[in-house]
A and B are shown apart, each in its own frame.
Chain A
Amino acid sequence: MSRLDTMRVSAQIAVRNLGAHRLKTFIVGGIIFFGAFLVVLGNSLVESIDNSMSRSVIGSVAGNIQVYNATSKDQLAVMGGMTMGDPDLAQIDDFAKLRATLLKVPHVKSVVPMGISGALVTSGNTIDIALERLRGIVRKELDAGTPKDVATQRQLAAQLAAQKDHVRQIITVLQGDMKNMKAIVQEQAVNKEDVEVIQKSASDAFWVDFDKDPYGALEYLENHLAPLAVDADLLFIRYVGTDLGSFSKSFDRMKIVDGTTVPPGKRGFLFSKFIYEDQLKLKSARRLDKIKEAKDLRGETIAKSEELQRFVRENTQQVREVLLQLDALKTATFRAKLQKELALPADPKAELGALLAQFFATDDANFQGRYDFFYRELAPDLELYRVRIGDILTIKAFTKSGYVQSVNVPVYGTFQFEGLEKSALAGALNLMDLVSFRELYGFMSDEKLAEIKTLRASAHAKEVSRENAEAELFGAGSDEPSPAAPGAKAPGGVGAKPGKAPPRHIIADATPGVNPELPEISSPLAAKLRREEARSRVFPPDEVERGVVLNAAVLLDDPKYMRATMPAIVKQGEKDGLKLKAISWQESAGLIGNFINLARGVLMVAIIIIFTVALVIINNALVMATLERVREIGTLRAIGAQKRFILSMLVVEAVVIGLLFGGLGAAAGAVLVKIIGAVGIAAKSDVQFFFFSGPRLRPFLNPAAVVAAFVIVIFVATISSFYPAWLAMRVTPRQAMQEEE
């Protein structure tokens, strides 16, 4: 009881001292308040971000753990690493075996095979598409094999006229481009041949002659005119080759947006909705979307935002992409609609480009109206996306050994990872079936091997060793096996045909497991067959299962076992003869996984700095206070207070400040977290969208942060009172009697 009373009196003295030295209390308390506030708020924010980010990263592509070959040169980075290129990973030969091994490990719920790579895709060129359509109509018309009634005849003639019109419309646009070019560069800088091509194509004479020799004319247009219209983009896309069935089952965040998922065993490509919108959409439409999003979600205005002004400017300057899509009929319709919308007098001669530019010159007042008008009136007549669902996508990739490999895959639809819809970071990944992935990456499928065999047989291809290639090509060498080519006898060289003894008949340069470049098949029939094949071929599940993968995502039944499961996976791998490396989702998310650690680090540094400053200032203030109170302390000692009492008095004083202001700061932080949690923080950029894994972050209060705030505050307060307390304990009772003169 009495000890408590002594504590009470020392606390009383301490508290009253705080009141007596308000400025000091205010400064010290303010710093502690801010520190505790920051601990609670910062920690809660970081924890919330970590939580939502981990949910979306784990639930979208990374899984809880990623497993890959331990002999790989680089570390796996699912969502893009520190370097631009893809990490160099060693392959895992048999996914079925890997899965069996992984499923033996406790807590492993499911395993998804994966391979991540990137490739170039050519997006459609408007004139190419227009010419291809024209060719199609011409072919139908000239096709003597099918009998045609009058109605069909007439319909085809109308189609032909309209399509010709469209091509001529495109040529007019190109003519305009040429005129503009001449205005800015000197005459001689413009390629004369180009001018001639355009002039010739635009001439009425050319089109009169067209019907006489449509294929010849088409060839001229395809070979000479089309290269001048360079509106096609080379797109670099990143994709995950995976078993799409088990992918969508294991990753709950993945949702199909348009189209359907790829049927089991089929080749197929799913675009990320983000990429589809951002890269493949008509640029004018995409810019309108972006302006709308900025205005609606972030409250930006065209008047204030430089970025939005740039979008508007680009839309007014880059109407060509729209113009190229329009034939004469559509041009007239657009002209009439735009003149009505812009309240201009109807003038059939007005230039559509200028009208479009005027239409796209939006401001904050008319934007919403123009946006709605665009999608209601204009968009239905436009091809909004360069690649449509159902198109066959030709993907060209460099295989691991450096060959260019191309694969045709049908686009089945688009998907998004829920919560990451707007994020360029996670939205950059597209999905592809595993078989196509293996081919692009340079692994042979059974199907491909068979195809090579057939092709080789049909083309009577003679296999040529690299050493003898020159001789073979130029006929300068003899038929004798070259003595300088022992290395050509590559062990296990793919396709080494038995019965052909000379070493020069070993296939050139075959890296084991990597198929050689296929001869390009360019005849229309072959192309058609390939397209048909791409759509209809069904692979047996065994081929998907038993093939090569680069990595596998492991999903756990409970995420808290992640740390324990990682070494267990490696161990189980050793038992089963697989050299495996298991990394956490944070590591496999690459750069992104590190962001949260970075954020945590920054917060930690800020907290350390704040509390170091707090420590110094509190210490300083207490030293000053102690020096001021030498007589009081001396008096207390004289009348019988032990040193311990003095010590507890000062420590209690510091702890009281800490608890009082730390408590207030933590409470203020908690209240703010609650308020922000109720309102939410709007994501203002793609990066934020990713971190928040959704349009708004709703932070939750982290009770551990409140506890941490108190612990830190009390620790700092106690530590900072040690030196002043030591000073105070050296005050002797005699000092109570000293009179300052």
Chain B
Amino acid sequence: MMKAIVSVKDAVKNYTLGKVVVPALRGVTLEVGAGEFMSIAGPSGSGKTTLLNLIGCVDTPTSGTVEVAGKNTRELSERQLTDLRLNTIGFIFQSFNLVSVLNVFQNCELPLLLQKSIGSDERKRRVLELLDKVGLGDHVKHRPSELSGGQRQRVAIARALVTRPQLVLADEPTANLDSVTGQNILDLMKDLNRTQGTTFIFSTHDQKVMSYANTILRLADGKLAAGNGATAAAPHVAGAPA
């Protein structure tokens, strides 16, 4: 196994709703190696999104440690976490979350602008190359509202990859798409994973989607379910609905 890019140890996350403490994660330990194509699966409320947030440095654990690219997220300031997200992680959202007033090119360029260190020629080259790769080379000037759902998600994927992150997190990336489009998107992600070596972690509760993953991590009630660890792309890995 390659060097771990994400290492989660006994991560616990509690949310407080008023006076009630709601445990979302009750101690999860896992490691994700570079180049993985991993799926976090489980019914809603099982803690998928919470785990993804911890890995994505959007949140920090109540106890336990989350290390991303060798950095313990609990020890980082808000700004450092933001920089970590900017430079190491790409995000793909269920509802695509493009900036509606910017066109396709500008949406993709946005993270590079936030990085501030890349010149405009380099930015242009990278954005166009990626848009070509996701099949939107002809749509650079389009606004998100002029695109179909699948096209929008392709733009989102291009945006997530434009900074050449070590890790791409996708939260239910196909949930808002029809099954054919969803499969295309997954094919694209898988292809990018293979050709660029980018690590992908995506959450889903769809069996078909899970089947694309090299590794499936099943969550139930905030804990890893039994029977995890399958590394092969086994379409019919037995779930463990407890």
Identify the A interface with B (CB < 8 A).
1-3, 5-6, 9, 12-13, 16-17, 19-20, 631-632, 634-643, 645, 732-734, 736-737, 739
Complex contact B111–A640 (CB within 8 A)? yes
Q: Which of B53, B79, B113 has the most CB of A within 10 A?
A: B113
Which of B85, B95, B97 touches A640 (beta carbons < 8 Å)? Answer: B85
Whether, in the assembled complex, B82 has its beta carbon less than 8 Å from a beta carbon of chain A, the answer is yes
Give the distance to chain A from B48, nearest Cβ to Cβ, in Å.
11
Whether, in the assembled complex, B36 has its beta carbon less than 8 Å from a beta carbon of chain A, the answer is no
Complex contact A639–B114 (CB within 8 A)? yes
Chain A residues lying within 8 Å of B94, measured Cβ to Cβ, are 737, 739
Give the distance to chain B from A497, nearest Cβ to Cβ, in Å.
102
Q: Which of A19, A636, A638 has the most CB of B within 10 A?
A: A638
Whether, in the assembled complex, B67 has its beta carbon less than 8 Å from a beta carbon of chain A, the answer is no
Chain B residues lying within 8 Å of A2, measured Cβ to Cβ, are 113, 116-118
Complex contact B101–A16 (CB within 8 A)? yes
Closest to A641 in B: B114
Chain A residues lying within 8 Å of B53, measured Cβ to Cβ, are 734, 737
Chain B residues lying within 8 Å of A16, measured Cβ to Cβ, are 101-102
Complex contact B95–A638 (CB within 8 A)? no
| Known A635-B99, A639-B86; 10 more pairs at CB < 8 Å | A9-B109, A632-B100, A636-B99, A638-B85, A638-B91, A642-B82, A736-B91, A736-B97, A737-B93, A737-B171
Chain B residues lying within 8 Å of A739, measured Cβ to Cβ, are 94-95
A1 to B115, CA, bound (A): 12
Complex contact B114–A19 (CB within 8 A)? no
Complex contact B114–A640 (CB within 8 A)? yes
Give the distance to chain B from A656, nearest Cβ to Cβ, in Å.
13
Complex contact B101–A3 (CB within 8 A)? no
Contact with A along B78-105 (1 / 0, CB 8 A): 1100110111001101110101111000
Give the distance to chain B from A642, nearest Cβ to Cβ, in Å.
5
Complex contact B116–A5 (CB within 8 A)? yes
Whether, in the assembled complex, B174 has its beta carbon less than 8 Å from a beta carbon of chain A, the answer is no
Complex contact A5–B87 (CB within 8 A)? no
Chain B residues lying within 8 Å of A640, measured Cβ to Cβ, are 82-83, 85-87, 111, 114-115, 163
Give the distance to chain A from B14, nearest Cβ to Cβ, in Å.
15
Given contacts A20-B100, A736-B97, A737-B171, contact A639 B111 (CB under 8 A): yes
22 contacts between A and B (CB under 8 A): A2-B113, A2-B116, A5-B116, A5-B120, A6-B113, A9-B109, A12-B102, A19-B101, A631-B95, A637-B82, A639-B85, A639-B86, A639-B90, A639-B110, A639-B111, A640-B82, A640-B83, A640-B114, A640-B163, A642-B114, A733-B85, A734-B53
Q: How many A-B residue pairs have CB under 8 A?
A: 87
A13 to B117, CA, bound (A): 20
Complex contact A5–B82 (CB within 8 A)? no
Count residues on chain B whose CB falls below 8 Å from chain A CBs.
Answer: 38
Whether, in the assembled complex, B49 has its beta carbon less than 8 Å from a beta carbon of chain A, the answer is yes
Whether, in the assembled complex, B56 has its beta carbon less than 8 Å from a beta carbon of chain A, the answer is yes
Chain A residues lying within 8 Å of B111, measured Cβ to Cβ, are 639-640
Complex contact B49–A737 (CB within 8 A)? yes
Chain A residues lying within 8 Å of B90, measured Cβ to Cβ, are 639
A635 to B171, CA, bound (A): 13
Closest to B94 in A: A739
A732 to B53, CA, bound (A): 11
Q: Which of B86, B93, B99, B111 has the most CB of A within 10 A?
A: B99
Complex contact B99–A632 (CB within 8 A)? yes
Closest to B109 in A: A9
Chain A residues lying within 8 Å of B159, measured Cβ to Cβ, are 639
Which of A1, A13, A638, A733 touches B101 (beta carbons < 8 Å)? Answer: A13
Whether, in the assembled complex, B22 has its beta carbon less than 8 Å from a beta carbon of chain A, the answer is no
A164 to B186, CA, bound (A): 126
Whether, in the assembled complex, B147 has its beta carbon less than 8 Å from a beta carbon of chain A, the answer is no
A640 to B87, CA, bound (A): 8
Complex contact A20–B101 (CB within 8 A)? yes
Which of B85, B93, B99, B118 touches A13 (beta carbons < 8 Å)? Answer: B99
Give the distance to chain B from A419, nearest Cβ to Cβ, in Å.
57
A221 to B53, CA, bound (A): 117
Give the distance to chain A from B182, nearest Cβ to Cβ, in Å.
16
Which of A6, A20, A631, A645 touches B97 (beta carbons < 8 Å)? Answer: A631
Chain B residues lying within 8 Å of A737, measured Cβ to Cβ, are 49, 53, 58, 93-94, 171
A215 to B222, CA, bound (A): 133
A16 to B160, CA, bound (A): 23
A9 to B123, CA, bound (A): 13
A370 to B47, CA, bound (A): 101
A642 to B85, CA, bound (A): 10
Whether, in the assembled complex, B106 has its beta carbon less than 8 Å from a beta carbon of chain A, the answer is yes
Chain B residues lying within 8 Å of A3, measured Cβ to Cβ, are 116
Complex contact A732–B93 (CB within 8 A)? no
A632 to B96, CA, bound (A): 10
Whether, in the assembled complex, B59 has its beta carbon less than 8 Å from a beta carbon of chain A, the answer is yes
A20 to B99, CA, bound (A): 12
Complex contact A9–B101 (CB within 8 A)? no
Give residues of chain B (204-234) contacting chain A, Cβ–Cβ below 8 Å.
none
